[in-house]
Amino acid sequence: VAPGGPAESAGLHLGDVILGLDGVEVSGGRSLARALRARFGAPVSLEIWRTGAPASLTITPEERA
């Protein structure tokens, strides 16, 4: 979770486990990165597992400089 980045702004914490994006399961870092790149600039729902319970956050992916 990069300081000042979209993940931090959305409330993602170190240790959160990302389960899916807009209701679609992601199987690892590469599939998550691919899914996020396809949605740059648009808000998406991020399904996570945090401290033993499911949660949902809204994040707007941004292209890195």
Domain spans of the chain, in order of start: 6-59
Indicate the average pLDDT of the chain.
88
What are residue 54's DSSP bridge partners? 49
Tell me the CATH architecture of domain 6-59.
Roll (2.30)
- Say what the pTM is: 0.78
Tokens read off for 43: 């808000």
pLDDT tens digit string along 4-17?
888 888 889 999 99
Q: What is the pLDDT of residues 51-60, one digit of tens each?
A: 999 999 998 8
As a whole number of angstroms, the distance between CA 15 and CA 41 comes to: 25
What proportion of the chain, given as a percentage, has pLDDT over 90? 37
